Chains A and B, each alone.
Chain A
């Protein structure tokens, strides 16, 4: 309850400066200091956003993008978390996957989109796979480091109390890796929307990325700004939701240990 209260308080105190900036921007627009055709005033953007939110079409596009992003992230997590765990507990697995992870880590992930279009055509398969491949690497790495950072003494004391190697994974390694896994997921979430939208901008029939481009080409700039606003808010909401889940899961952790929130 108090957590909700403090969240509301934080958002409330954050709203004031944003409102101030928007008001200044609006005033400059009215005064004619800003060209409102290429930089629509906040009021015009809000009006366009309201119109967008009235129809169903916009939600379909936004929903498709969000589903692609989250679907790809889920796939990345479903592969990345077990793989990271395996690499942390099995030397041979580590020896095999570590060079592969290192070699692919520095590939700019959106660059896979053209290749996937070639393989899977334009659409959700390409999109979800590109997101999954981009998110899987940080998730693997953070899971791996999370397990590695499990204090030796906790492993010892679990063993002294009769914990088998298999239970050790559930009882000690996985809980100790929680912070790492959640950090990896948060980084992955950041990539997820980026890759999903970028892939849609490169080639797509549906999705918010496609929509943005269409507004840009037809000169509907107030709608373009409105759609960007919607994306920013959706990404912010998703990030906050993940942080809230993390904070709840990590409520046992020392606050000084750096919860994911910022």
Chain B
């Protein structure tokens, strides 16, 4: 797969939180590199620090130790080069669907006609036709998530940071959106870091899957994925390669989950 210079570098990153006077270590010794145009997924048990890692890449949360860089520059804060899709959608509830999707385009200062054209394209692409003037509260969870994806794709950041972007979708829509993401990624080769707890999703979409451990969170295993993404979904899913790689990742996650629940019981 792509072997250009790394676009994202995470070296020896750790994150500690203060909780009722005690410090507890959420992440420790996290090392990871993502090449330009690579699609990497991070899977792991819930609460292991996946969102926190993504927030640090987004520049919202500072690491307690270690360095992160994106596009060759150290991460010091949020930047328009890194688009983030949050687990909780983070739509602006006071803006309509169209205004949410167009928000960053206004900030970029694009001409109005161009803004409208891009918004219209993503409204169509995400199947939101007819809801342009609706407020987020009038949408189902799945539709909100589509607006959140559209809002980030619309302004075309070089790096996509996705936090469980399909978590709220029903199984059918989920597959459609996954294929849509895959199509987008194949056409423009963004660098993508996606957090998910769905092993099938991670394996189906990524070039590489990183498995995280629980407490402290760190990357314990990595699986290069080698699927022919130009094939149809059916062909991929029934292929032996997919099945083997999926099983390998599933077992690795399983080990972490049992370790985590065993640790919690102790």
Contact = CB atoms under 8 A, between A and B. Distances in A.
Q: Are chains A and B touching directly in their complex (CB below 8 angstroms)?
A: yes
Interface of A: 151, 153-154, 156-163, 167, 171-172, 175-176, 178, 251-254
Contact of A161 (B55, B94, B155): B155
A156 B60 contact: yes
Contacts of A252: 93-95, 135-137
A251 B90 CA distance: 18
A157 to B, nearest CB: 4
B90 A154 contact: yes
Instruction: Say what secondary structure dominates the interface of chain A.
Output: helix
Contacts of B137: 252-254
Most chain-B CB neighbours within 10 Å: which of A157, A178, A252? A157
Contact of B93 (A156, A158, A253): A253
Given A153-B86, A157-B84, A162 B107 contact: yes
A154 B151 CA distance: 13
A160 B92 contact: no
Interface of B: 55, 58-60, 77-80, 82-84, 86, 88, 90, 92-95, 103-104, 107-108, 135-137, 151, 155
Most chain-B CB neighbours within 10 Å: which of A153, A171, A176? A153
B88 A172 contact: no
10 contacts: A153-B86, A156-B55, A156-B86, A158-B103, A160-B59, A160-B84, A161-B80, A161-B151, A167-B107, A175-B92
A161 B104 contact: yes
B92 A154 contact: yes
Contacts of B155: 161-162
A153 B151 CA distance: 15
B147 to A, nearest CB: 12
A252 B133 CA distance: 11
A157 B135 contact: no
Contacts of A153: 86, 88, 90
A157 B87 CA distance: 11
Nearest to B95: A252
A160 B58 contact: yes
A6 to B, nearest CB: 18
B80 A162 contact: yes
Contacts of B94: 175-176, 178, 252-253
Contacts of A151: 90
Given A156-B78, A252-B95, 20 more contacts: A156-B55, A156-B60, A156-B90, A157-B90, A160-B58, A160-B59, A160-B79, A160-B82, A160-B83, A161-B104, A161-B107, A162-B79, A162-B107, A171-B92, A172-B92, A176-B94, A251-B135, A252-B93, A253-B137, A254-B93
A244 to B, nearest CB: 18
A34 to B, nearest CB: 51
A160 B108 CA distance: 12
Contacts of B80: 160-162
A159 B75 CA distance: 14
Nearest to A174: B94
B135 A162 contact: no
B103 A161 contact: yes
Contacts of A176: 94
Contacts of B58: 156, 160
Most chain-A CB neighbours within 10 Å: which of B78, B94, B104, B135? B94
Contact of A156 (B84, B95, B107, B135): B84
Contacts of B90: 151, 153-154, 156-157
A158 B106 CA distance: 12
B102 to A, nearest CB: 11
B130 to A, nearest CB: 18
Contacts of B135: 251-252
Contacts of B136: 252
A161 B79 CA distance: 7
Nearest to A162: B80
A29 B93 CA distance: 55
Given A167-B107, A251-B135, A157 B77 contact: no
Nearest to B87: A153
B122 to A, nearest CB: 14
B86 A162 contact: no
B15 to A, nearest CB: 16
Contacts of A171: 92, 103
B93 to A, nearest CB: 5
A159 B94 CA distance: 17
Contacts of B60: 156, 159-160
